[in-house]
Amino acid sequence: MANSSHSVALGYILWIFGFTGSHRFYFGRPISGTIYFFTFGLFLVGWIVDFFLIPSLHRQADLRFRMGPIDYNVAWLLLTFLGIFGVHRMYMRKWISGFIYLLTGGLFLVGYIYDYWTLNDQVTLINSRS
């Protein structure tokens, strides 16, 4: 969808690694994402069930998060693959913290984990200002 903040396709790609909770973090569910991370996707049962829940998680994320100049999908891809270098923060125009992440490995990984919990809200806040 053109007015969609999150992508179903990216949700399913992250679901492949969903036993780590990545798709849950992406759709704005950090608590269950953390539980999935520590329980191997609720012992794979929750991971399998989520295959069928992704369309619902997508709809809920689209209702909850605001579209704008910062694209959620790009921000999540940058966080996932280049997060310890702060590239996602630079994309969101947070240059100082992005540079700090670059020099400190995502602020010694603590900031990287924090961003998994809060990235959707950070993007929504920036998009609501535009």
Reduced to 3 states (helix: H, G, I; strand: E, B; else coil), residue 3 is coil
pLDDT at 119 over 70: yes
pLDDT at res. 2: 60
Mean pLDDT of the chain: 94
> What's the pLDDT tens digit per position in 55-85?
999 999 999 999 999 999 999 999 999 999 9
Whole-angstrom distance, CA of residue 85 vs CA of residue 102: 4
DSSP per-residue string spanning 53-116: HHHHHHHHHHHHS--SSS-HHHHHHHHHHHGGGTHHHHHTT-HHHHHHHHHHHHHHTHHHHHHH
> What's the pLDDT tens digit per position in 6-32?
999 999 999 998 778 999 999 999 999
pLDDT at 1 over 70: no
The model's pTM: 0.90
pLDDT at 94 over 70: yes
The candidate with the shortest Cα–Cα distance to 119, out of 37, 3, 5, is: 5
